[in-house]
Amino acid sequence: MTIKNKFYRYIQDLQDTITSKLEEVDTLANFKEDLWERPEGGGGRTRVIQNGAVFEKGGVNISAVHGELPHSMQAYFGVTDANFFACGLSLVIHPKNPYVPTVHANWRYFEMYDKQGAIVDQWFGGGQDLTPYYLFEADATHFHTICKKACDAHDTTFYPQYKQKCDDYFWNSHRNEARGIGGLFFDYLKASEGRSMQDWYDFVTEVGNSFLEAYIPIVIKRKDLDFNTSNRNWQEIRRGRYVEFNLVHDKGTLFGLRTNGRIESILMSLPPHVQWQYNHQPVKGSEEEKLVEVLKNPKAWV
């Protein structure tokens, strides 16, 4: 079986595993599924949960698209007359309780072909990262510990390398702060220096398999904590920064828009309730300010 077929089968199974577990934790809402096709080639399976007991909105989507690489992307990659195949799983979960963090993850595979159909380039990418609204250091340490464990199973240099890439990538440069407390981010994992595409497949799927272990214990620990309107307002203000990153900086969003992706699936990452208050500043010495200080200065959690 080819790498692309094997990985596509993997993300189909992983989508089932993750959505089943999230439904079990929520107890109220279930995922609604949309199957869609892309006119230029391929399609996907979008699953969205809304108005649950725990999850206000979330999506766990898979897609496999192919065809001629749009001219804007040809210019981006510095190629001409290229075709492509891309598949991946992308998820974003926005919990109701402000003490439960938002989480994002993505695992993807890309191939590029010449006009004869021969592969001229291929790579894996992805990662997983956490965006809390209130900082529980034990939660940050847990999430990063699981990320490090997945990395260390393959190479002990991976975690510090991909943790740093995550801090660099999920940086709202126009705000001079991180989107969240990070995790892992990797891209353009290609066969080289003694590593095969099968080696990278094994690594990326290890990270994918670690997701539920990294996130669900945090949800269970925090989902029943009492919160008030002030906490909720802060959550919605911080969600605004999440939206800003996704619409201004995120490569995945831009790729989807430039390849005529399904707009509802691309923008499912946006939370349902958001605020932008003019020049909002957290109270000095508050828990809200504690979070912002960490976002301005990313730290080592393990």
CATH number at residue 40: 3.40.1500.10
Distance between CA atoms of 154 and 201, rounded to whole angstroms?
11
147 domain-assigned: yes
301 domain-assigned: no
Q: What is the pLDDT of residue 75?
A: 79
Q: How many domains does the chain have?
A: 1
Burial 210-219 (b: 16+ CB within 10 A, else e): bbbebbbebb
The 3-state DSSP class for residue 174 equals coil
What is the layout of strands, in order, in the sheet containing 55-68? 32-37, 42-50, 55-68, 83-95, 102-113, 119-131, 182-189
> Among 66, 94, 104, 144, which one carries the catalytic annotation?
104
Q: What is the pLDDT of residue 114?
A: 86
Q: What is the pLDDT of residue 188?
A: 95
125 domain-assigned: yes
- Whether 273 is catalytic is no
290 domain-assigned: yes
Mean pLDDT score, 287-296: 97
Mean pLDDT score, 175-190: 97
Quick check: pTM over 0.85? yes
Evaluate whether 22 touches 93 at the Cβ level (below 8 Å): yes
| Full domain range(s) for residue 194 | 3-296
Element of type H or E holding 18: helix 3-26
Q: What is the pLDDT of residue 255?
A: 77
Share of the chain above pLDDT 70, in %: 100
